[in-house]
Chain A
Amino acid sequence: MAKWMSVAQVKEKIKESSAEEVTASYLEVIGKSKINGYVTVSDKALEQAKKIDEEGHRGPLAGVPIAIKDNISVVGLPNSCGSKILEGYVPPFNAHVIEKLLAAGAVVLGKTNMDEFAMGSSTETSHFGPTANPWDLERVPGGSSGGSAAVVAAGEAPFALGSDTGGSVRCPAAFCGVVGFKPTYGAVSRYGVVAYANSLEQVGPLANNVEDTAVLMDVIGGYDRRDSTSIDSKTEYQKALVDDVKGLKIGVPQEFFGEGIHPDVEKAVWDAIHKCESLGATWEEVSMPNIKYALASYYIIAMSEASSNLARFDGTRYGFRENAENWHAMVSKTRAEGFGAEVKRRILLGTYALSAGYHDKYYLKALKVRTLVKQDFDKALSKVDLLMAPTMPNPAFKIGEKIEDPLTLYLSDVNTCPINLAGVPSISVPCGFTDGLPIGLQIMGKPFDESTVLRAAYTFEQNTDYHTKRPPEVA
């Protein structure tokens, strides 16, 4: 069986054989994995697939396997968020996106590795050890949805769900040479997704191609009354898959091609822009002067929200507990033992930024910068239909290379996090290679104009072959 199949091919295969057989073949590939992409492989996947076979393949994804990031709640599967502190916690409820997937007939293969509580860009901060990049096993897959991107790139799942708070879907997509999509804030319900920074994050697909991304979006998108920030945009994602960019105006923000960008990345992205031009689009440079403050603003807001979100992990009700003589000591010990260094760093920094005397200087200022960044996007996108830029300024780095230097690691989010501050949709699609490592093109659009973003990505993909390349090491 072909290891890398599109969703359409998987569905064809299910028709020819059975959902059970297809699921079994993926489980077999997972069994031989060299990348540590899955934290938990579901022991119910085969049973689930069999049931779908028995019930006659109903639903748009009947029998199609999927991998789920380990911060999205699935009944019966541990939801560890890459942390020791959630040891033994199995959610009694499904996330909204999981309900939708199960209703569509999808089969959950398992939960994928991630940076602890989605805090990282390399999947190295996971309690379950790092995930390897299928293109070079010594390199990181990006993060925080590194497991989801890597298993798709390695053919261990046809597609996957990740979550994107500051680039956590797009960064690993770029590093692993797959498609990663962050929808507009509110387009997908966050119910059941463990919060890192509520005001920034969205669930998003990781897939082998743009079409599969749209297929998945049609299933998971839409209004959910349990998420007050969700919005019914009524977007029909697959309808956006038109191979035509004629007349589209592309903006190229210089601020995304800053200091330290790898020349091959810069060239690949410009080649992509010129490719779109050759297909009938036009491009112009746009200025987004406040982008340079985005990273600082992003980290202050994300850490502040995280410091509050993670307060519930106190050992009292579920998860890991380190016993002590009284409750306060128990909480201290549990959190000291249960959280990793990066999570602790962010909780401390976030707590500091919200503290009396610093709140206005840091948190409030960060919110003001956020408004300015949003205005930059509004202004730029009033003149053009789309923005194009590199997803990551550099290709995947070596495991261990940056982990001791948090600031350098934070800097790798420089091109992805402004999008989360603005809440706009953004996709990363493969657009080239440097020394055998994939490069990602980032296409950003107007709020709830996913259709134009997907249309441009689809057209680019239809006219290039980067998305068909497979990592040799895991082949």
Chain B
Amino acid sequence: MAYENPDGIRIGLEIHVQLNKLKTKMFCGCSTDYHNAAPNTHTCPVCLGLPGTLPVLNKKAVEAAIKVGLALEGEIAEETQFHRKNYFYPDLPKGFQITQYDFPIVSKGKVVIEGEDGEHVVGITRAHMEEDPGKLVHIGSIEKSKGVLIDYNRSGMSLIETVTEPDMRSPKEARRFLDKFRNILEYLDVFDGNLEGAMRVDANVSVHWGTRVEIKNISSHKGVERALLYEIMRQKNVIRRGGKIVLETRHFDEGRGVTTSMRTKEEAEDYRYFREPDLMPMRVTDWIPAIKDTLPELPDAKRTRFMEQYGITDMHARSLTSKIMLADFYEGVCAKGVDPKTAATWAADVFLGELNYRDLAISSYDGRTIGFIHAKDPEIENSFKVPDMVELVTLFAEGKVSDRAAVEVIRTILDGTEEKTPSQIIEEKGLFKAEDDLVTKAVAETIAENAAAVQDYLGGAEKSLNFLVGQVMKKTKGTADAKTARELIVKELKG
């Protein structure tokens, strides 16, 4: 059934993405690998905007932008054209930002998301290239800061700003769009979303098909969803009280989860755009066929292939392809001859669940080892190896370990500091599945020791059976297969 959108919500997004996988900055040869470097060490006269310097467009940045455009099924401009956006800010070393204006590299694309009522198309108005400014570091908090330090390491990084149509109808759809968008960019290998400042979002939202409000510079997908939920509630209440929504820009306070007014549109700055005279147009039409050839399999195509090739469910395929590195890891495991369906359950349900529980984000995959870093503390790192997953899935499939034991192995590896194979862990912790006679013995003992529960069960209390199974598991230290234990008890008591 079609989604009715009872509150007439329209959400459009503007997403700034840093092309942080490029080796050099947008207009100079400075390295982009500055994330752990001392401030102002990845700079040169060009990205510091020293007088007399000139920009030289990084072809790789243009190629990456075209790649993104093609992945978004957009139209690619025949040539590049850049403008100056003029404004004063301490992080902006030239007093203007080189950006694209009325002639963006990408226009008219789309992204299909899982919407409120199934597949939903979000239109991409445009995607343009621009340079990142530097970064301000406040000494202390912003309000009480005694001073500001400027780090120009980020200055001149290549950005792509993508503008969507106001096609999203709920904060959840906005979140889904962002997840999908990031996923596509990571498939294209132009973007590492785990790096600080990699993605910043401005969200435009209106209710009852009315005036839109812009919420500026939100740094996480979760933040976007929260900001929108708050803002929609605020707007609905303003209207309920008979007020009017004004065209304005608002700030999202992550800590308090509220939006506050920054400025109304009347105060909007005049950026005095004009063509950047130091850059000549670069014709790119001829590049497109070659770039098309390098486009990887994208998430939707991979999902369909996974379902067909491995016979796995749509849900598993979706979850496994939600991260390119996880998809590759899964295929690495399957390539070793294990049952793909069993592997999918373990990789998509258990493994991914344990990662999310620990706030670990997948950050690398080299064909053998998948690495993670903690979402909030990049110092915390860990990894998991394909052969370990293969071994674990095989042991489980052969019935040598119980599902509980297998989960325990995964947890041990994720929490451990030493390198151990699943067999070693199973050995050390005594997790091998109990022999059948051991279980039989435990069942007999349990029945003998819990007469009351046995009576209750026979009297019709199904819950008592769970208690009895639990007792068997306890006696076997969890090595028994719960399903087998249950069957044995039922057989013993009911014949």
Per DSSP, chain B at the interface is loop
Tell me, in angstroms, the Cα distance from A308 to B278 when the chains sit together. Answer: 12
Binds A, one of B51-59, B251-259, B470-478: B51-59
Tell me, in angstroms, the Cα distance from A305 to B272 when the chains sit together. Answer: 11
Is A311 in contact with B96, judged by CB distance below 8 angstroms? yes
Q: Known pairs A193-B52, A308-B95, A356-B272. 16 more at Cβ < 8 A?
A: A91-B52, A191-B52, A197-B277, A228-B55, A229-B280, A307-B272, A308-B86, A311-B86, A312-B94, A313-B51, A316-B93, A316-B150, A317-B49, A355-B270, A359-B272, A363-B274
Q: Name the contact of A225 in the complex, choosing from B56, B150, B273 (C-beta under 8 A).
A: B56
A331 at the interface (CB under 8 A from B): yes
Known contacts A93-B45, A331-B88; A228 and B51 CB within 8 A of each other: no
State the interface size on chain A (CB cutoff 8 A): 46
Q: Which residues of B contact A199 (CB under 8 A)?
A: 277
Tell me, in angstroms, the Cα distance from A91 to B45 when the chains sit together. Answer: 9
Is B56 in contact with A228, judged by CB distance below 8 angstroms? yes
A457 at the interface (CB under 8 A from B): no
19 A-B pairs within 8 Å (CB atoms) are namely A81-B51, A91-B45, A91-B50, A91-B52, A93-B53, A190-B54, A191-B52, A195-B52, A198-B278, A229-B277, A229-B280, A304-B274, A312-B93, A313-B51, A313-B95, A316-B93, A317-B48, A317-B49, A355-B270
Distance of B210 from chain A, by nearest CB (Å): 26
B461 at the interface (CB under 8 A from A): no
The A-B contact count (CB < 8 A) is: 101
Q: Which residues of A contact B315 (CB under 8 A)?
A: none
Is A312 in contact with B49, judged by CB distance below 8 angstroms? yes
Is A192 in contact with B94, judged by CB distance below 8 angstroms? no
Distance of A317 from chain B, by nearest CB (Å): 7
Known contacts A311-B95, A355-B270, A356-B270; A327 and B54 CB within 8 A of each other: no
Identify which of residues 303-319 in chain B touch chain A, using a CB-to-CB cut-off of 8 Å.
Answer: none
Is A194 in contact with B55, judged by CB distance below 8 angstroms? no
Identify which of residues 270-286 in chain B touch chain A, using a CB-to-CB cut-off of 8 Å.
Answer: 270, 272-274, 277-280
Distance of A346 from chain B, by nearest CB (Å): 15
Is A198 in contact with B277, judged by CB distance below 8 angstroms? yes
Q: Which residues of A contact B51 (CB under 8 A)?
A: 73, 79, 81, 86, 89, 91, 194-195, 312-313
Q: Which B-chain residue is minimally distant from A304 (CB atoms)?
A: B274
Per DSSP, chain A at the interface is loop
Q: Name the contact of B54 in the complex, choosing from A191, A305, A354 (C-beta under 8 A).
A: A191
A234 at the interface (CB under 8 A from B): no
Contact bitstring A176-215, B, C-beta under 8 A = 1, else 0: 0000000000000011111101110000000000000000
A318 at the interface (CB under 8 A from B): yes
A47 at the interface (CB under 8 A from B): no
Tell me, in angstroms, the Cα distance from A89 to B45 when the chains sit together. Answer: 13
A227 at the interface (CB under 8 A from B): yes
Is B278 in contact with A229, judged by CB distance below 8 angstroms? yes
B84 at the interface (CB under 8 A from A): yes
Q: Which residues of B contact A35 (CB under 8 A)?
A: none
Is B148 in contact with A327, judged by CB distance below 8 angstroms? yes
Q: Which residues of A contact B50 (CB under 8 A)?
A: 91-93, 318
A150 at the interface (CB under 8 A from B): no
Contact bitstring A319-334, B, C-beta under 8 A = 1, else 0: 0000000011001000
Is A351 in contact with B56, judged by CB distance below 8 angstroms? no
Contact bitstring B451-483, A, C-beta under 8 A = 1, else 0: 000000000000000000000000000000000
